[in-house]
Structure 1
């Protein structure tokens, strides 16, 4: 682990990895950590974590840092972190328009260094201020930008906004390799709670009659499949339903 403390109430950056030979440290400052990542079965690549200067007057130092880092290696490259900047007005909702000189300056950095902004899956904004007030602002400050060579190697890479956070920023997850996992076959199970619903009997009768020419086991399976689909609304995802109830309670209290 390499961790760099925040300055006052801003900044702070850390990088953690699993095995000693997975990451090789190149350079670091209080605004960045630059490493080479070596994982068995993957192509070696460069990973840079960045915390952009929050002071707009000093934003140019972040851009110059990226430019300087781009000249140090031709290795496939990924930069990820809080850039404290946007690439377009669509990346901000609420408040005044983002200063055009900041948008243009950041865009020029990506053009100069041949970097590509990765698409963010999930909620489009990663930071918010003044939630629930007239000054509520949502903005995408956290992102991953990659070289063309990196994207050609990790063609199935995925960047996701995890959304849940106690901070004013939400975490983003970058998966260089997206695993294609065969979905497990759904387990069908009869729930006794269904018997309390009058429509349950009718569902069984209708399904049974619809497949009455089939063997007994087939008819039983059809009934269970239909009941399982219907029963999700009765005894479905309790965790999600509890979470929805809590949101209603919080909004009522507010």
Structure 2
């Protein structure tokens, strides 16, 4: 199973619809989320029939906004809630009777409205406790290393995003591909690039999908790039382990692979980095070690 999400900057043009159709044919995703559709319900209904998918949409506000969520007819999806900035669903896997939560998110782009984004995330977190993945355009970065060009983000702005992810027990699942997901498309030296789009998940979801990865798909014609989350779920899941907190095992100390993971995650010059960056790297290191541990257990048939 895979999911694709994209801030498509409007479904009005035939090129955008052609690109989405190409993504569907090429990657065959089970779930597709589009933000900034600027579309009417009539257009969404036409696209559902054209792509042979189920779907639902949140109307645009004026000439901007709009969300759309499509899914394959063989996937069972239950709607939990929606607004002009999110669509929250339960996904039921008929193959293994697994239920997990998927939230599609579009953060407020205006600086003065950022607290509304974080309040919405807090509300969503308090709603249900399933294994949870959330993806979309958060309109914020977690570090100035996720930005190129323009003025640096102020520390308090970055910290507010980090803090709400910690409150919600969410961690970025990482990515492969080009490091930035948005550009202002201006000529050098006025070019700005940022990683505004991402997928995050709680520990329970990562335990079920330890090999999940977000792939940044190349598409030079838009401000944002599409992102595909490939789940690559393990064939067996020990449900008793889903809620077990992360613990560093003493026996890992003697393993060279474990040391390499820690060095790669933390880097060589950790003492010169701001404290908030070091704190965030703790979560990245935890995810990397969790995935390594799951891989080792699979090799020996222990999970």
Under a length normalisation based on structure 2, what TM-score does the superposition of the two structures give? 0.56
2:161 is aligned with 1:103:
no
The separation in 2 between residues aligned to 1:157 and 1:74, in whole angstroms, is: 20
Quote the residue 1:154 is aligned against.
209
Q: 1:76 to 1:179 in 2, by over 3 A?
A: closer
Q: Deviations over 1:196-223 (max 9, x none)?
A: xxxxxxxxxxxxxxxxxxxxxxxxxxxx
Q: Deviations over 1:60-91 (max 9, x none)?
A: 11101111111111100011000001111011
Q: 1:35 to 1:142 in 2, by over 3 A?
A: same
Secondary structure at the aligned position of 1:164 is classed as coil
Cα pair 1:160 1:174 within 8 Å, conserved: yes
What is the Cα deviation at residue 12 of structure 1?
2.3
Quote the residue 1:29 is aligned against.
83
2:166 is aligned with 1:114:
no
Quote the residue 1:123 is aligned against.
178
The separation in 2 between residues aligned to 1:100 and 1:30, in whole angstroms, is: 28
Which structure would you say has the larger RCO, counting Cα contacts within 8 Å and 6 or more residues apart? Answer: 2
Q: Aligned pair count?
A: 180
Under a length normalisation based on structure 1, what TM-score does the superposition of the two structures give? 0.67
What is the Cα deviation at residue 40 of structure 1?
2.2
2:114 is aligned with 1:59:
yes
Q: Which blocks of at least 5 consecutive residues in structure 2 are unaligned?
A: 1-54, 236-303
Q: Please identify runs of 4+ aligned residues in structure 1 that moved more than 4 A.
A: none
Q: Deviations over 1:13-46 (max 9, x none)?
A: 2110112751100100000000000122352100
Q: Which blocks of at least 5 consecutive residues in structure 1 are unaligned?
A: 181-254
Aligned positions of 1:214-225 closer than 5 A: none
2:114 is aligned with 1:72:
no
